[in-house]
Structure 1
Amino acid sequence: MAALRLRNKPLYPLLCRALSGCGPQLAPERGAERRDAAPSRVSRFGPPGTSCHDWIGPPDKYSNLRPVHFYIPEDESPSERKLRELRQETQEWNQRFWAKQNRTFHQEKEAFIHTRLTAKGLGLSAESGRKATLNAEEMADFYKEFLSKNFKKHMRYNRDWYRRNFAITFFMGKVALERMWRRLRRKQDITRA
């Protein structure tokens, strides 16, 4: 109810713009670039130079996360800069963690499958020429073992993830209030003049 009444107030558009900023935009898929991407780089994708928005790129080959290219406004305040840098640092940290974790997962999964197939006396290829696989129950053993082995690592990741997100949320609120305050002061200056 209160939200419906707030829409009639002149502050509603200001509050929406302050909280949303310029807003991110999804980038088109770039398959050729993803195949050629070097392991040390996330992607060669880049938004056009005239963009005034954050852009979300295609999924990274190693982490499966979509990198964000942050827009840097010319009149960026210290709080906005701190927020952007914190978001960039968190994104890079997240990309590194999941790239390493996914690489480890795939290596251990392949080793597990190879070990189990060898124990059964089977090769990596089935008689039909397709890649031999294990059934869901056998793979469940691997998933359980992998999660148990990495439990502490995932707990540390979750703790750090929440800590970083609370800091980002705090700065987003601070930036939103500063933007709203700036707009109100400009409006007051215009009405006085």
Structure 2
Amino acid sequence: MSGKPTGYFLRRSLWPCNLLGTLPMRRISANASRRCSSSEPTKQGNSVKRSQFIPAAESKHDWIGPPHRLSNLRPIIYHIPENETELEKQLRTLRRETEDWNHAFWTNQNITFNKEKDAFVLSQLKEKGLTERDEKGRKRALNSEEMAVFYKHFLDENCIRHANYNKNWYRRNFTITLLMGRVAFHNVWRTLAERRGWKKGSPTT
């Protein structure tokens, strides 16, 4: 068995407000990578386990892991500054909670999609008098026109669910954007205060 790692976390620059792209990637072992991915959700799909990966103490960056096998989303370990302000903590907490919420939604949605798709394919093959696999053991598949019927049905069936997800997603991101603006404003104010020797304090926002 090769010792080459199969998983990794990408290091991300923090300026400004954790928005910029990735810097050179840092790899971790295959065993560690399995611990980095969020665990499989419970039967109800309400539980999301945070990554167990812990960056080095001297790290000043966010870390981005490989896509989760169920949600297809990359987990993020957010950097905690030494002198984290209350606003910065609020921002980091909301971003982490939003990531967990997003992961849980797409994990459950993808599981449901795959189960219903497999059931649809089997039912269509059965109607044709075919088995799941051909004489060579290969899995049979439907053509694009046949699958389009399933895709439309799935989208129609989940229309309200997806609409509610989008509303929540935009609401969360709007709040995150506002918090990021407040954090940036306070950081600029603090820098100016330190340079000019103003009395300790912060602007009202």
TM-score (norm 2): 0.76
Q: Does 1:99 align with 2:96?
A: no
Tell me: CA distance 1:135–1:36, structure 2 relative to 1, closer, same or farther (3 Å): farther
Once the two structures are TM-superposed, the CA of residue 66 in structure 1 deviates from its matched residue by 0.3
Q: Deviations over 1:88-122 (max 9, x none)?
A: 11000000000000000000000001111111111
Higher mean C-alpha displacement, 39-48 vs 138-147? 39-48
Q: 1:131 aligns with which of 136, 139, 162?
A: 139
Higher mean C-alpha displacement, 24-33 vs 139-148? 24-33
Match of 2:155 in 1: 147
Higher mean C-alpha displacement, 127-136 vs 158-167? 127-136
Which ranges of 4 or more aligned residues in structure 1 deviate by more than 2 Å?
A: 17-38, 40-50
Q: Does 1:88 align with 2:127?
A: no
Rg bigger for which structure? 1
Say whether the 8 Å CA contact 2:17–2:180 is kept in structure 1. no
Distance 1:46 1:171 in 2: 25
Tell me: CA distance 1:21–1:65, structure 2 relative to 1, closer, same or farther (3 Å): closer
Say whether the 8 Å CA contact 1:52–1:71 is kept in structure 2. yes
Partner AA of 1:88 in structure 2 = R
Q: Does 1:170 align with 2:178?
A: yes
Tell me: CA distance 1:104–1:54, structure 2 relative to 1, closer, same or farther (3 Å): same
Q: 2:164 aligns with which of 136, 143, 156?
A: 156
Q: Larger % of helix: which?
A: 1
Say whether the 8 Å CA contact 2:35–2:51 is kept in structure 1. no
Once the two structures are TM-superposed, the CA of residue 48 in structure 1 deviates from its matched residue by 2.7
Tell me: CA distance 1:77–1:65, structure 2 relative to 1, closer, same or farther (3 Å): same
Count of residue pairs brought into register by the alignment? 174
TM-score (norm 1): 0.81
Tell me: CA distance 1:46–1:111, structure 2 relative to 1, closer, same or farther (3 Å): farther
CA RMSD, Structure 1 to Structure 2 (Å): 2.5
Distance 1:29 1:123 in 2: 43
Tell me: CA distance 1:35–1:184, structure 2 relative to 1, closer, same or farther (3 Å): closer
Specify the SS of the correspondent of 1:51.
coil
